[in-house]
């Protein structure tokens, strides 16, 4: 039977726990398709492979700064048809896929994987691994390899990244493969190793294997209850993107009005479900808006975070407010950034945009929307920034 095999990534990275829409939002990866062109596939089935590749790549944000795509075809030997830096224009890449060559021959999958790792997933051919961008290999093969990697289930599990249940899929015909389109969701779960709603973005934030993230949220009286609910939904969708755990990504929440209040610290909850429940339980009390006082409150929390972990990890603060602060924010925000904390400032409705820039210290980390239900695109932008090693603090005080 024809088999669709996904390997994530080719070597030991992969460290987050995202859902599809969040990772799709991140739009940051180097993806190499390793395509079997052996004689057992045949011309008509290889045309379906072209269609499959076209469908997938057409849904990606292909560019030099977002998703880079490479293609390796293989039979008895592997050939790099597209390097990660070959195309910056998606239309040109798609036109090439229409004429992707097919030659027939044997099936040496192991050699193809080695070829891709040594010749495509390298900096000189466009890989951004050294910048922390996730490296993803997708292997499409129809049968047993003639070298040391077979397409049987056991070998697929061995080849794929851990945990294999998220990364190995088997499709029983090339025709059904064409159904794997929208979101790359596998609808043919009866023949897959596991019923799967995972996608080609199963992993996307390799460098966030360890991070400490605090949310500082305004719960002043000017925020409607429905808007406060949207803010909590924003946090829940955000945390679902990462691999939560005491040795991985830790999250905490502080709410503030006239004064700050620690809802829960970074080490209070150690799994995603517990965090979600805790966020859902946050109550809005109301009051004024003293953002400066709240920012000052955050400094010792980040100091304690490093002490509890035993070493320094990337630290992030996401501030969400709907109005102008009644106290000064510039100095306490600058002190946090000097401490090494990367600050994102999100303003809604009546927030002061100059003040937001003072909080973040960087216009690229400053966001403003008119309504709380418009927070989702901001979540996507912040995840993209955190997922990129380019998300380092650039202070423009």
CATH number at residue 83: 3.40.50.410
Do residues 140 and 289 both lie within one domain?
A: no
Do residues 161 and 273 both lie within one domain?
A: no
Residue 10 lies in a domain: yes
pLDDT value of position 351: 83
Domain-ending residue, one of 133, 157, 191: 191
Domain-ending residue, one of 139, 162, 191: 191
Do residues 125 and 216 both lie within one domain?
A: no
Do residues 303 and 360 both lie within one domain?
A: yes
Do residues 84 and 149 both lie within one domain?
A: yes
Domain span at residue 72?
Answer: 3-191
Residue 203 lies in a domain: no
Alpha-carbon Rg of the chain, whole angstroms? 23
Residue 350 lies in a domain: yes
Residue 376 lies in a domain: yes
Domain-ending residue, one of 191, 218, 239: 191
CA dist 13 and 338 (Å) reads 30
Do residues 89 and 223 both lie within one domain?
A: no
- The encoded tokens of residue 381 equal 């932008």
Residue 67 lies in a domain: yes
Do residues 324 and 268 both lie within one domain?
A: yes
Residue 126 lies in a domain: yes
Query: Residues 6 or more apart from 229 whose CB is under 8 A from it?
Result: none
CA dist 144 and 152 (Å) reads 7
Do residues 132 and 221 both lie within one domain?
A: no
pLDDT value of position 275: 94
Do residues 278 and 381 both lie within one domain?
A: yes
pLDDT value of position 169: 42
Q: What angle do CA 108, 111, 117 make, to 5 degrees?
A: 140
Do residues 141 and 229 both lie within one domain?
A: no
CA dist 165 and 157 (Å) reads 8
Domain count, the chain: 2
pLDDT in tens, the chain (397 residues): 333 333 333 333 333 333 334 344 446 788 888 888 988 888 888 888 888 888 788 878 888 888 899 999 999 999 999 999 999 899 999 999 999 999 999 888 888 888 988 899 899 999 988 777 777 778 887 655 566 544 333 443 443 444 444 444 434 333 333 333 332 222 222 222 222 222 333 333 434 568 899 999 989 888 888 888 888 999 998 888 777 889 888 999 999 999 999 999 999 999 989 999 999 999 988 898 899 999 999 999 999 999 998 888 999 999 999 888 889 999 999 999 999 999 999 988 878 889 999 999 998 898 888 777 777 777 767 876 776 543 344 444 4
Residue 153 lies in a domain: yes
pTM beyond 0.95: the answer is no
- The encoded tokens of residue 105 equal 């021959």
Nearest in space to 214 (alpha carbons), one of 97, 285, 332, 294: 294
């Amino acid at each position: 039977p024809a088999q669709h095999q996904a390997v994530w990534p080719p070597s030991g990275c992969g460290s987050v726990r995202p859902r599809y829409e969040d990772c799709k939002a991140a739009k940051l990866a180097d993806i190499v398709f390793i395509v079997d062109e052996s004689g057992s596939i045949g011309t008509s089935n290889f045309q379906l492979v072209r269609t499959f590749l076209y469908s997938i790549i057409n849904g990606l944000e292909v560019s030099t700064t977002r998703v880079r795509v490479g293609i390796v075809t293989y039979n008895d030997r592997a050939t790099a048809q597209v390097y990660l830096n070959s195309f910056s224009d998606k239309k040109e890449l798609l036109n090439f896929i229409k004429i992707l060559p097919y030659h027939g021959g044997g099936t040496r999958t192991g050699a193809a994987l080695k070829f891709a790792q040594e010749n495509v997933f390298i900096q000189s051919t466009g890989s951004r691994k050294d910048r922390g961008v996730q490296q993803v290999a997708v292997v499409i093969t129809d049968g047993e390899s003639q070298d040391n990697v077979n397409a049987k289930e056991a070998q697929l599990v061995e080849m794929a990244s851990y945990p294999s249940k998220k990364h190995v899929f088997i499709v029983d015909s090339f025709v059904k493969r064409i159904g794997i389109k929208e979101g790359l969701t596998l609808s043919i779960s009866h023949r897959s190793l596991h019923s799967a709603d995972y996608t080609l973005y199963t992993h996307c934030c390799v460098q966030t294997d360890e991070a400490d993230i605090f949310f500082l949220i305004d719960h002043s009286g000017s925020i409607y209850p429905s808007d406060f609910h949207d803010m909590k939904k924003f946090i829940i969708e955000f945390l679902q993107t990462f691999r939560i755990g005491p040795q991985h990504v830790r999250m905490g929440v502080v709410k503030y009005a006239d004064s700050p209040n620690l809802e829960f610290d970074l080490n209070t909850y150690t799994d995603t479900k517990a965090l979600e429940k805790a966020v859902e339980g946050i109550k809005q009390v109301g009051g004024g808006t003293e953002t400066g006082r709240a920012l000052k409150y955050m400094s010792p929390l980040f100091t304690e975070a490093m002490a509890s972990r035993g070493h320094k990890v990337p630290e992030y603060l996401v501030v969400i407010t709907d109005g102008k602060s009644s106290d000064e924010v510039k100095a306490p925000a600058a002190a946090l950034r000097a401490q090494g904390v990367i600050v994102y400032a999100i303003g809604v409705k009546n927030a002061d945009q100059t003040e937001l820039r003072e909080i973040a210290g960087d216009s690229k980390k400053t966001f403003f929307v008119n309504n709380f239900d418009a927070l989702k695109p901001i979540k996507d932008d912040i995840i993209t920034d955190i997922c990129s090693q380019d998300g380092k603090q650039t202070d423009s005080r």
